[in-house]
Amino acid sequence: MMSRCSSFLEADRKYVWHPFTQERTAPPPLPVVRASGASLFLEDGRELLDMACSWWVNVHGHSHPKIAAALARQAATLEHVIFAGFTHEPAARLAEGLINVLPSPLCRVFYSDNGSTAVEVALKMAWQYWRNQGDQSRSLFFAMQGGYHGDTFGAMAVGRSSGYYEPFKDLLCRVVHLPFAPTWLGDAECEAREAAALARIDELLELHGREAAGFLAEPLVQGASGMNMCRPEFLRAVCQRMQARHIPVILDEVMTGFGRTGTMFAMEQAQVTPDLVCLSKGISGGFLPLAATVASQRIYDAFLGEDFHNAFAHGHSFTANPLGCAAGVASLALFEEEGTLARIGRIHAANLEWLAEVAQLPGVTRPRALGSIGAITLGAEKSDYHAQIGASVKAKCFERGLLIRPMGNVVYLMPPACISPQELQHAQSGLLDVLRETADLYT
């Protein structure tokens, strides 16, 4: 007879292995039973304001009724179909919608199902782009120091310097990492730092430019390495150098896309048009796993031919899942209906005021803000994922009904666009109090 645990938490404890978790020492996971707007509700009735957008996926708010309704309609009509040799309205309409909001040379949408696969697809496209033209010499990628791009092999290789992948280092392909030039509010030395980084990038381009199959970067904000931000001018200068050498530029907008940085895509602020862009997380409003790698005509054309040998031989079982795409279409419509970018602009303004106050605290460094993201570093100037302070701040915020997810000594707020001014104020003042209470841990 089948045994059944008395609660789902017990079943979880017995049978589930959680991501990014040391299963021996981690406290039991929190049982979430419901979510609405900016809030998550736990089994025991407690409410948590989701200030991390549930791993950066949520855009408009949880369980948004319009996306939920679109999903219900789609589930009752067509839940899934193979996407090779078949198509369906949600995939075609979402592709159309994406092309309408992306800069014009980006013209072909290739679907997959998470951020890592969006990156994997882009790397493979850039790699094969050269080989389809008979050039076998392009055998490495350029990527930015500190960039994070996901946990599959290609994504790990380009994200290697983020420090997450020690056990796999012998299995990763060749990547040359370029210096990043971070900046923050009130930073007076940014231009000198950028000039030094660009001078080193020029040297590395001289050394390796002819071997490079592509260049990959998170535009404006490096999320997982500590919400490190750079100026649009810096990103533009790096991309221009790549494009001058015909090296395909791949922008990973998995985290920054769909309004997170205040514009629909971060690349708009840098006025950079990449050859490939990777989208996921917010693409479905944060409802379902879905991703897209969008290619320029130049890339797409290199895969056309009379037989299969230069086609892109890549696909996933759930490529272009109709439910994910229907959620994506509904989410795009909400940007106009709800003035999502204006809402994010108001969050940004409130974050700037809050950061001006937080930056006065001793031990708080590098206040930075873009779109809905407001971040600070505690203690040491540099981000340190293994710093313990984050765990203390997180636990104390939880007691105040706030879900934050610091990365070591980097603490940030990233609410969904629907957060009310009162909720945001509650989160900001709660975190400020916690920072005061924990000051002896980082000063």
Q: What is the total count of residues that contact ligand PLP (CB under 6 A)? A: 15
Question: Would you count residue 146 as binding ligand PLP (CB under 6 A)?
Answer: no
- Minimum CB separation of residue 172 from ligand PLP in Å reads 16
Question: Would you count residue 183 as binding ligand PLP (CB under 6 A)?
Answer: no
- Minimum CB separation of residue 229 from ligand PLP in Å reads 13
- Return the residue of 148, 258, 318, 412 that touches ligand PLP, per CB under 6 A: 148
Please state, in angstroms and rounded to a whole number, the distance separating the CA atoms of residues 211 and 238.
Answer: 17
Q: Pick the stretch among 120-128, 146-154, 166-174, 185-193 that binds ligand PLP (CB under 6 A).
A: 146-154
Q: Pick the stretch among 67-75, 174-182, 218-226, 342-350 that binds ligand PLP (CB under 6 A).
A: 218-226
- Confirm if 301 and 275 have CB atoms less than 8 A apart: no
Q: Pick the stretch among 113-121, 297-305, 319-327, 366-374 that binds ligand PLP (CB under 6 A).
A: 113-121
Please identify the residue of the shown chain whose CB is closest to the bound ligand PLP: 115
Question: Would you count residue 143 as binding ligand PLP (CB under 6 A)?
Answer: no
Question: Would you count residue 175 as binding ligand PLP (CB under 6 A)?
Answer: no
Question: Would you count residue 373 as binding ligand PLP (CB under 6 A)?
Answer: no
Question: Would you count residue 116 as binding ligand PLP (CB under 6 A)?
Answer: yes
Please state, in angstroms and rounded to a whole number, the distance separating the CA atoms of residues 251 and 122.
Answer: 9
Please identify, using beta-carbon distances, which residue of 224 and 411 lies nearer to ligand PLP: 224
- Minimum CB separation of residue 151 from ligand PLP in Å reads 6
Please state, in angstroms and rounded to a whole number, the distance separating the CA atoms of residues 82 and 68.
Answer: 23
Burial environment of residue 45 by CB neighbours within 10 A (0 to 12, 13 to 18, 19 or more): exposed
- Return the residue of 50, 120, 194, 218 that touches ligand PLP, per CB under 6 A: 218
Count CA atoms closer than 13 A to 385's CA, side-chain side: 13
Rg from Cα positions in the chain: 22
Please state, in angstroms and rounded to a whole number, the distance separating the CA atoms of residues 376 and 413.
Answer: 9
Q: Pick the stretch among 115-123, 226-234, 376-384, 412-420 that binds ligand PLP (CB under 6 A).
A: 115-123
> Which uninterrupted H or E stretch holds 390?
helix 389-399
Please identify, using beta-carbon distances, which residue of 109 and 364 lies nearer to ligand PLP: 109
Sign of CA dihedral 221, 224, 226, 227: positive
Question: Would you count residue 280 as binding ligand PLP (CB under 6 A)?
Answer: yes
Please state, in angstroms and rounded to a whole number, the distance separating the CA atoms of residues 98 and 328.
Answer: 9
Q: How many CB atoms lie within 10 A of CB 33?
A: 11
Please state, in angstroms and rounded to a whole number, the distance separating the CA atoms of residues 82 and 318.
Answer: 8
Contacting residues for 347 by C-beta, under 8 A, at least 6 apart: 371, 372, 415, 417, 419, 424
- Return the residue of 61, 97, 115, 262 that touches ligand PLP, per CB under 6 A: 115
Question: Would you count residue 150 as binding ligand PLP (CB under 6 A)?
Answer: yes
> Token digits for 337?
């209906």
Binding site for ligand PLP (CB under 6 A): 56, 114-116, 119, 148-150, 218, 223-224, 252, 254-255, 280
